[in-house]
Chain A
Amino acid sequence: MRYSYYPGCSLAAAAAEYDLSLRRVCAALGVDLAELPDWNCCGATPAARVSTALALALSARNLALAQRAGLDLMVPCAACYNRLRRAEHALASEGPRRRNLEEMLNFRYTGEVKVVSAPEAVCRVGLRAIADRVRRPLEGLQVACYYGCLLVRPPEIVAFDDEESPVLLDKLMLALGATPVEWAYKTDCCGAGLALTRPETAQRLVDRLLAAAAEAGAEAVVTACNQCQISLETRRAAASPPLPVFYFTELTGLAMGVPGTGDWFRRHLVDPLPLLRRLRLAG
């Protein structure tokens, strides 16, 4: 399998371990990634708040580039995925929005190239195929799979799994030998959008999630969203449960025994090594 790869701004910075672990896991699974040439920022939430037209135009430029490259576009960042899917939705519609975007970007949308989230692209390899490559099953690791907002809403546009109770990451964790816990906050908001401007409010939301995950018996949180990962690590109260927050690719890579795990885990603000050592999953 081969994809164009849209890392997005965050994976070059605060979410570097997501980028590093995803590239390693894809290489080990035989998934080729070719970075999309000259990609630009999707505009994220600020562009959408200021102008829907601007948000669509910024995202659509990347889809025009992807169409030229001729491969489906894999998007790890949940915010980018959300924005690019909206642009894809506007381009796939018949109407003035599509024509405006095509004119502005001087291209004709064919619909041949699709936007795919990183968790969907990885799981597309096949859960059995992934399970077959597990060298170090994550036995004893109880995880709360956390999907957040951007992968699942609006459901009619992003169409990622079930909007209220997604299970894709839970199934992947089972394939890796971990134990996903049942909990009711899979798609509740972590307040990442408020993390900088209203940190006290963001912390209330984060603490609510961590308390619920701990109460459900989880010792770690797993996510496919870098906004969530960063806000769960940085906006928690000192007294909140000390659960580390993993990218799904980190646990996949750890279970498959791919090299480089130390470089991912040292970047975490909540050190995951004590937990992994206790479960004899790290040296």
Chain B
Amino acid sequence: MYLLTSQGEREQADPRFREEVRLRSGQPVELCFQCQECTNGCPVAEFAAYRPGLVVRLVQLGLRHRALSADLLWLCPACETCAARCPNGISVRRVLDVLRGMSVAAGLVPLNHRELVFDHLFLTGIAGRGRVAELPLLLRYKLATREILRDAGLGLRMLRRGKLPLRTDGVKNRAEVRRLFRAVADAGASPEQVENPHLLRATAGAGGGW
């Protein structure tokens, strides 16, 4: 079955897509009756071309490409208002996490996508020292995204106020923290426990370069 979108584009409906999202997110997406409570409560809905209720509808219809290309995937601030207000117990946020991972697996986003770069650096920092060191994290992010000058003034003000210390402590038992990353990456944990397998393998040091 082909479906026409409002922009006049055709996409073949794929019912397996709905089942895959359902299984991996653990969310009963088939229950959504489009009341738009999620969209009404969403703080970024007004900035998104595809709003939360619509993304769930795309999943229901099996419109894989449309759903995986939705800008909301990367705009979601993870506030979970959608989940708290959904009368059917669906966390759109959880659905979006899974769609992000599927979008990466499908090659629809470049690996230097800023949200992916941030998550990758954040997690490799934890895998390395057991804790996040904010200053090195910020500098690495700025280098990776080539945005050195953006927020430079803010960074200096924070440095002057002692908000970005040059040295912070790490965990002593780093081997144990690393083991947790490996254990999760190697376990082939149940599908609803790994939203973004590519990124997980990269941070656990098991999946080659990112």
Q: Report A's interface with B, CB cutoff 8 A.
A: 9-10, 12-16, 38-41, 43-54, 57-58, 61, 96, 100, 104-105, 149, 153-155, 163, 187-189, 191-194, 196-199, 201-202, 204-205, 234, 266-269
Contact = CB atoms under 8 A, between A and B. Distances in A.
Given A46-B118, A50-B196, 15 more contacts: A9-B133, A40-B171, A41-B126, A51-B184, A51-B196, A53-B189, A54-B123, A54-B181, A105-B180, A149-B78, A149-B80, A153-B79, A191-B44, A197-B74, A269-B157
Given A13-B135, A51-B196, A191 B97 contact: no
A202 B78 CA distance: 13
B183 A197 contact: no
Contacts of B47: 201, 204
Interface string B7-38: 00000000000000000000000000000000
Given A16-B163, A197-B115, A269-B157, A50 B200 contact: yes
Interface residues of B, number: 63
A38 B171 contact: yes
Contacts of A267: 161-163
B191 to A, nearest CB: 10
18 contacts: A9-B131, A9-B133, A13-B164, A38-B171, A43-B123, A46-B118, A49-B78, A52-B194, A54-B184, A104-B183, A105-B180, A149-B78, A154-B83, A187-B81, A189-B79, A194-B77, A234-B154, A268-B161
Interface of B: 43-44, 47, 74-75, 77-81, 83-84, 91, 97, 100-101, 114-115, 118-119, 122-123, 126, 130-135, 138, 141, 150-151, 154, 157-158, 161-165, 168-169, 171-173, 176-177, 180-181, 183-184, 187, 189-190, 192-196, 199-200, 203
A197 B187 CA distance: 31
Contacts of B138: 196
Contact of A38 (B126, B162, B173, B184): B173
Contacts of B177: 40, 58, 61
B77 A189 contact: yes
A104 B186 CA distance: 12
B132 A155 contact: no
Contacts of A154: 80, 83-84, 91
Contacts of A53: 184, 187, 189-190, 193-194
A230 to B, nearest CB: 8
Nearest to A202: B77
Contacts of A57: 180, 183-184
B18 to A, nearest CB: 20
A173 B200 CA distance: 43
Contacts of B131: 9, 40-41
Nearest to A188: B43
